[in-house]
Amino acid sequence: MALLSVIVPCYNEEENVSCFYEELMKNNSFFEEKKLDLEVIYIDDGSKDKTPDICDDLSKQYSHIHVIHIENSGVSAARNKGIEHIIANYYADNSYIAFCDADDLLAKDCLTSDLENYLDQDIICFQSCSMSHDTTMCSPPHSSNNIPVIANGGRKAAFRRNAAE
């Protein structure tokens, strides 16, 4: 079975950390159906709020959540620390890494839709959308001709929390 490790750098994200995990589990049915193993790695990047405690509480509740606490070093260093954790603890041919931020909005099955069709690929790009602060403008997704793109997400997904459902 393939393993998807989701690295989530966190700096003062006490309002988003729990919400992110709930959204991830609610919106990605592959994890419940056991078609894909999941690991969430929260990297607490020296937060000054309750983020470290919330992350630790989540890891006590769920065995597939790991927390690494580091001194504030920035998002790139936090992501690299997550990669180091993955390399040090397991490395299999069917392991994948996803980078998310604690305040990301996730569309339904955004990390898993059609993933099983691409497990022979080294890199898979997921469609994403960057919103302006007032949520009025959405930039187009980036893609490459040589990399399969799973086309979920986009503007509709970014508005999910802002629109009445």
How many Å apart are CA 141 and CA 149, to the nearest integer?
10
Contact by Cβ (8 Å): 74, 45: yes
Mean pLDDT across the stretch 101-123? 69
How many Å apart are CA 159 and CA 164, to the nearest integer?
9
In this prediction, residue 95 carries a pLDDT of 75
In this prediction, residue 121 carries a pLDDT of 67
Tens of pLDDT along 11-50? Answer: 999 999 998 888 877 766 656 666 668 889 999 999 999 9
How many Å apart are CA 158 and CA 139, to the nearest integer?
11
Tens of pLDDT along 35-46? Answer: 668 889 999 999
Note the pTM of the prediction, 2 decimals: 0.74
Contact by Cβ (8 Å): 147, 102: no
Helix residue spans in 68-132 (DSSP H): 75-89
Mean pLDDT across the stretch 127-139? 54
Q: Please report, rounded to a whole number, the percentage of residues in the chain having pLDDT higher than 90.
A: 32
